[in-house]
Structure 1
Amino acid sequence: MLFNSFQFVFFFLIVYSIYVILNRKWQNGLLLVASYVFYGWWDWRFLSLIAVSTVIDYVLALQIDQRDKESQRKFFLILSCIANLGLLGFFKYFNFFTESGVEIIRWMGFTPDPVTLNIVLPVGISFYTFQTMSYTIDVYRGHLKPTRNFLDYSVYVSFFPQLVAGPIERATHFLPQVQNERTITYQRIREGAWLILLGYFKKVVIADNLADIVNPVFNDPSAHHGLTIVIAIYAFAFQIYGDFSGYSDIARGVSKLMGFDLMVNFRMPYFAQNPQEFWRRWHISLSTWLRDYLYISLGGNKDGPLKTYRNLFLTMLLGGLWHGAAWNFVLWGIYQGGLLIFHRLIFGRSKEPEKIHLGRRIVNIAIMFQFVCVGWLLFRVNSMADLSVLIQNLFAWETIPWIWVGYMAVVLTPLLLLQLNKEVSGDLLHIKKWRPSARLAVYLILLAYIALFGKVDGGEFIYFQF
């Protein structure tokens, strides 16, 4: 069930009309049922997997809390990691590793029989697996007491607004909201409606329209050259941002209507001046997860520069693999790790942006955006063979497709203006402080864009595949 579908609109209106008249206990029961209906809409078989994942970490977290011996606590933590990563690895990576192994054996001159299974990748498995793992790890580290209320924990795992594409919520932040009474105020409704409107604008106007520029180039790379490829790469940079941040905005907006606050997942990432800052602004719930549960666990920056670089490299390599079972994602992770290492090696830790002169800051942003777009080329390609073709064709001359440039300018102008305002104010919800007439003008402009350019039949959100 897609956010950008009439089915979801009807589904949410029905759920919300019942939700607002119930008390907290019954609200949680409704949320669990609604979340399982929402998730089962894709494939009812997915429900057994999320149920198993929920039970595993609920039970193991309680076992960790009940043990005094460190060896026993660590045993149950390792059991949780093996169970979660085992499920994720089987459903997401089994065919990738077996097919890659077969290719390596063939390269060595042997002719093995390929072993593949018809495995369906459950939507959102990477997101809720990391979410349940963080719960158990936080219990082990003493950051959180495990809940004994299975209903509350199940809602934390399966909460439908953020189930399939995040943000990856920490139990320390989200579980207390499930356990306590929620208050639905006019302010929350107004903020939620604004986030939903903005999210739909990003998805159906920006992401789905830019897909018409991006997809032809990447689906048939041999037919395109030079500046056409460059423009398609830039278009994808804004497509994936509009698509993913649009989903996060809708998820946050829907949650606010029900009295919940989800974490902010994006903070104007294309205003970043360096790789470190980019990852503090892009997919924040994943980047902080990788930092807190992988990078720090590997040793962080405590054991000298060489081990720091190693830890950065491994963290981003696995972060790339988290996105998908394909070599281009591995290469993207290596590239991101290389950028972080190079920046740290040359410049050390980042300076605070406000201490840098405006002119230099603009130059830094422009340069960093080019590095980001090189990464998006690696991220978007359908295969390594396509990547080779695109790189070769990139240096062949072709006239500028001005109609694409004009099209991008039209659909991106409102977003860029809103992003500039957000960068200056520091808060996307800063618009609530504007005069009513100014707010109304923005609402009407976005609604007009949705009416004129919105694609009602747009496709899935990009991050659903992860």
Structure 2
Amino acid sequence: MLFNSFDYALFLPIVFGLYWIRFQNSIKWQNSLLLGASFLFYGFWDYRFLALLGFSTLLDYYCAFKIDREKVLKKRKLWLWVSVGMNLAFLGYFKYVNFFIDSFSQLLENIGFNIGMHSLEIILPVGISFYTFHGISYIIDVYKERIKPERNIITYALFVSYFPLLVAGPIERATHLLPQLKKSRKFSYDAAIQGFYQIAWGFFKKVVVADQCAVVANAAFDNSENHDSTFLALGAICFAFQIYGDFSGYSDIALGTSKLFGIELIQNFKQPYFSRDIAEFWRRWHLSLSNWFRDYVYIPLGGNRQGKVKTIRNTLIVFLLSGFWHGANLTFVFWGLLHALFFLPLIFLNQTKKHLGIVAEHRMIPRLQELFQMSVTFLLVCFAWIFFRSKSINEAFLYIENLLAFSKYKNSSGWPENTKLTIVLLVLFVGIDWLSRGREHPIFGKYQYTKCLLLLLSILVFGVFTTRTTFIYFQF
């Protein structure tokens, strides 16, 4: 079920009404309703994968108790690896097995052996990367004795499959979400209205910003050899805002939806394109994934506590894994490697934590130095996005080659009709995002009713509704 679908427009009010009118005084029934709604929500994609979601949930639920009850370290580790290993095995099979088959087949062909290996017909379960990471973080936290295993199977199953975050995050932690699922929740008009505002802002970012930018970005990337450098540069910028509007828009809808039910999810984006270096960018982009890799990979490897050589090693590992997490394609691995390389100067100069505050805080206009830093960081991010968006490494380099050819401006008749409108909308969006930096979304504060009305009007006028597009991160 898509957030931007008629099905969801019916689904959400029904669940909301039952939750607060029928089950307001019972945590048990509220959680049961949300769990049933989550399975229904997920089953709309492909009901067959409900069994996989259910098995993964029961596996981690059982293994957590075995870890907690065992006193012998070797047995605790055994149950830890049963859970983590099986979760990663499922993820590897559905997401990466064809990648390894194709890579191995290509390797054999390169040395003269053609054994006729073929890819398997495997359907990728939507959201598997997200709910798998939920389960792994939970089982590790139990093993590390940060939390006790959750005894109520309905509460734990809801933690894993809570529908606002089920298919594209944010990646929640048991230490943050489980306590909220276990305490009484009372209806708050203010929380509900703020949730509605955040949903509206998320829809604006998706159907106005992302989907308008998608038309330009697709035209540029799908036929780069027939466009001039100006349009290819615009295409790369448009994809940067397409993926930002698309993914952060989904996160806003998820956070806003959850507020309707009195549950707070972690913020996943904090105006990342106003970052002054790559380290700050990753403290503002997809925070839940960045923090997951920091806490469960980077720090256990030693973090930055064992000298620069191991810090560089650990950084490379994290970014390569982050790239591979996004998909079974060398383009994603290369994208992760580029970000690791962008990080190296900051590590050598001990500047990874230089920019922790909000840029130009308490000022309307940034200083020239801040503007330069943000521009350089944004260009580096856009350059890396070229590999993320391209279907292959060769296609990415072809795009860059055509981009750097500095071909003269051509007649814009070959450009999509919405190009000029997209540029205007991008300028307005950047301005709104700049003014709201430091806040969860721009509708907070004075004149919020007026701002929300203007936002809804903009969605109706400029939103792309001719085709119902999925969210980009559904494929991950």
In structure 2, give the amino acid aligned to 1:394.
L
2:52 paired residue number: 49
Counterpart code for 2:371: I
The alpha-carbon deviation at position 415 of structure 1 amounts to 2.3
Note the residue ranges of structure 1 that are not aligned, 5 or more in a row.
none
Equivalent AA in structure 1 for residue 389 of structure 2: R
> Contact 2:433/2:442 (CA < 8 Å) preserved in 1?
no
> CA offset at residue 348 of structure 1?
3.3
Report the TM-score when normalising by structure 2. Answer: 0.93
- 292, 298, 301: which one pairs with 1:295? 298
The 2-side partners of 1:349 and 1:314 are apart by 17
- Alpha-carbon distance change, 363 to 77 in structure 1, aligned in 2, over 3 angstroms: same
Residue of structure 2 in register with 1:410 after alignment: 424
Matched, 1:14 2:8: no
8 Å Cα contact 2:280/2:356 also seen in 1 = no
Indicate yes or no: 2:439 matched with 1:433: no
Residue 459 in 1 paired to residue 469 in 2? yes
* Cα separation, 1, equivalents of 2:372 and 2:30: 50
Cα deviation for residue 347 of structure 1 reads 4.9
Partner residue, 2:82: 79
Q: Name the CA distance, whole Å, in 2 between partners of 1:116 and 1:217.
A: 29
Please identify, of 198-207 and 62-71, the stretch whose mean Cα deviation from structure 2 is larger: 62-71
Cα distance, 1:260 vs structure 2: 0.5
1:247 to 235, 247, 250: 250
Match of 2:238 in 1: 235
* Structure 1 CA distance for aligned equivalents of residues 184 and 29 of structure 2: 11
Number of the residue aligned with 2:363: none
Residue identity opposite 1:145 in structure 2: K
Note the C-alpha offset of 1:428.
2.4
Q: Any residues of structure 2 matched to 1:187-266 within 5 Å, and which?
A: 187-266=190-269
Q: Write out per-residue CA displacement over residues 298-343 of structure 1, whole angstroms, 9 at most, x where no aligned residue.
A: 1211211101100100110010000011110011111111111232
Note if contact 1:252-1:262 (Cα within 8 Å) is conserved in structure 2. yes
- Aligned residue among 309, 313, 335 for 1:310: 313
| The one of 353, 362, 368 aligned to 2:371 | 362
1:422 aligns with 2:420: no
Structure 2: gaps of 5 or more residues:
361-365
1:229, 1:394 within 8 Å by CA — same for their partners in 2?
Answer: yes
Q: Give the count of matched residue pairs.
A: 461
In structure 2, what is the Cα distance between the partners aligned to 1:18 and 1:5?
21
- Superposed CA deviations along residues 338-397 of structure 1, whole A, max 9, x for unmatched, are 111232124533323559983311211111000010111110001223113212211330
Secondary structure of 1:264's counterpart equals coil
Given residue 71 of structure 1, which amino acid in structure 2 is its aligned partner?
K
Post-superposition shift, 1:275? 1.0
Alpha-carbon deviation of 1:219?
1.8
Report the Cα distance in structure 2 between the residues aligned to 1:91 and 1:447, rounded to whole angstroms: 39
State which drifts further: 254-263 or 456-465: 456-465
Q: How far apart are 1:454 and its partner, in Å? A: 0.8
Contact kept in structure 1, 2:298 and 2:315, CA below 8 Å: yes
2:455 corresponds to 1:446: yes
- For the 8 Å contact 2:35–2:158, the answer to whether it is kept is yes
Listed as ranges, the matches of 1:22-171 within 5 Å are: 22=23, 23-171=26-174
Is 1:384 aligned to residue 393 of structure 2? yes
Q: CA deviation at 1:414?
A: 3.8
* Paired residues of 1:204 and 1:458 also in contact (CA < 8 A): no
State the distance in 2 between where 1:366 and 1:229 align: 18
C-alpha deviation, 1:96, in angstroms: 0.5
Distance 1:365 1:414 in 2: 18
In structure 2, relative to structure 1, the CA distance for the partners of 1:348 and 1:143 (3 Å cut) is: same
The 1:378–1:275 alpha-carbon spacing in structure 2 relative to 1, beyond 3 Å, is same
Q: Given residue 52 of structure 2, which amino acid in structure 1 is its aligned partner?
A: L
The one-letter code sitting in structure 2 at the alignment partner of 1:450 is I
- Asked whether the 8 Å contact 2:155–2:181 carries over to 1, the reply is yes
One-letter identity of the residue aligned with 1:5: S
Cα distance in 1 for partners of 2:175, 2:469 equals: 34
Which has more helix, going by share of residues? 1
- Tell whether the 8 Å contact from 2:267 to 2:440 is kept in structure 1 after alignment: no
The 3 A distance-change label for structure 1 pair 207 and 264 is same
Q: Is the 8 A contact 1:98 1:116 kept in 2?
A: yes
TM-score (norm 1): 0.95
Given that 2:135 and 2:160 are in contact with CA atoms closer than 8 Å, whether structure 1 keeps it comes out as yes
Matched, 1:352 2:366: no
